[in-house]
Homo-oligomer: A and B are copies of this chain.
């Protein structure tokens, strides 16, 4: 069975999506006239810009995170395809007010190559521009090889914390350091229960047995590390928490924030049931949770599943995490 998505022409999916977004949030954002870039309204001079490029199809990520105290701009590509260097350059140029721009880069080959090219183009034009590669998915490469890991749902912590930090008027070097700190304090692991369908072909993106869940699935349906039989939320939470804590010792006495990210069709009910188990496990280990984010923020179409991410916080990061943003799709 092909998917029954409510769309128009397959070739115009991204165009139509963004046109709808810009109409709905015209009081908050604009689209650059000749480039696939969403820029927040009322950018203030004297502040470092924070930009990310990403493939479309993961909505609300990342267009929905453009706003005060979050992203200054988002350059978007085609469905599951990174935007080109020209588009990223346009985003950088649009938000530079002379203080420089920090480009957050989710670690996927296309994103990294194109972002680096865009940063070089910006430097050639005397824009002070630096990139920070974000990697958080512990399933995609073993401990000790963190830099090989994919960027997945935990990158959301960086969008929020780094965006709010830049808003405070810190220098580009300090903003880059904050981005590195958030990244280094973040770990993510995802499980998938049901495949999403490609908006282009209408067919399932991967196969999964009726009684199995996949652990370590990437945000485009990249192969999972292993499978397990479907079990309770409690059992899934235990497996995932253990792996995350093992990888990066979140220790007794630590304060962390938690992201329970729905991948698409997983209900808010399930996200809450799952979060309940996660908090119990963490509390049993003496780890305190500070204002978790629960929702379907970074999706893979109507995939079923949950990404669980942890980020260790200090007092400054806590303040940045909880600062209100008018970005249309983020609230804690």
Task: Enumerate chain A interface residues (CB-CB to B < 8 A).
Answer: 1-2, 4-9, 13, 16-21, 23-24, 27, 56-57, 59-60, 64, 193-194, 199, 210, 213, 230, 232-234, 236, 264-277, 279, 289, 291-292, 294-296, 299, 301-302, 304, 306, 328-329, 331-332
Which of the residues B13, B234, B267, B332 comes within 8 Å of A273, measured between beta carbons? B13
Residues of B within 8 A of A279 (CB): 20, 23-24
Residues of B within 8 A of A210 (CB): 1-2, 4
Residues of B within 8 A of A1 (CB): 210
Cβ-defined contact, A6 with B59, below 8 A: no
| CB-nearest residue of chain B to A265 | B265
Residues of B within 8 A of A271 (CB): 20
Cβ-defined contact, B234 with A8, below 8 A: yes
Cβ-defined contact, A8 with B267, below 8 A: no
Cβ-defined contact, A16 with B193, below 8 A: no
Q: Which of A23, A269, A277 has the most CB of B within 10 A?
A: A269
Give 22 CB contacts A-B under 8 Å: A4-B304, A6-B233, A6-B270, A6-B274, A6-B306, A7-B270, A8-B234, A16-B276, A17-B273, A18-B272, A19-B276, A20-B274, A20-B276, A23-B279, A24-B294, A60-B268, A264-B267, A265-B302, A267-B302, A268-B329, A296-B296, A331-B331
Q: How far is the CB of A292 from chain B (nearest CB, A)?
A: 5
Having A8-B234, A18-B272, one finds 16 other A-B pairs with CB under 8 Å, namely A4-B194, A6-B236, A6-B273, A7-B270, A8-B277, A16-B233, A16-B272, A17-B272, A20-B271, A20-B272, A20-B274, A20-B276, A24-B272, A264-B265, A266-B302, A331-B331
Cβ-defined contact, A269 with B230, below 8 A: no
- Inter-chain CA distance A324–B135, complex, in Å, is 34
Cβ-defined contact, A328 with B329, below 8 A: no
- Inter-chain CA distance A292–B136, complex, in Å, is 34
Cβ-defined contact, B292 with A17, below 8 A: no
Cβ-defined contact, B20 with A267, below 8 A: no
Given contacts A4-B213, A20-B275, A233-B16, contact A64 B268 (CB under 8 A): yes
Which of the residues B24, B269, B302 comes within 8 Å of A292, measured between beta carbons? B24
| CB-nearest residue of chain B to A276 | B20
Q: How far is the CB of A186 from chain B (nearest CB, A)?
A: 19
- Inter-chain CA distance A8–B272, complex, in Å, is 12
Q: Which of A20, A234, A271, A277 has the most CB of B within 10 A?
A: A20
- Inter-chain CA distance A329–B302, complex, in Å, is 20
Cβ-defined contact, A267 with B299, below 8 A: yes
Residues of B within 8 A of A60 (CB): 268
Which of the residues B13, B19, B273 comes within 8 Å of A7, measured between beta carbons? B273
Residues of B within 8 A of A291 (CB): 27
Residues of B within 8 A of A270 (CB): 5-7
Cβ-defined contact, B7 with A232, below 8 A: yes
Cβ-defined contact, B265 with A21, below 8 A: no
Cβ-defined contact, A23 with B275, below 8 A: yes
Cβ-defined contact, A17 with B269, below 8 A: yes
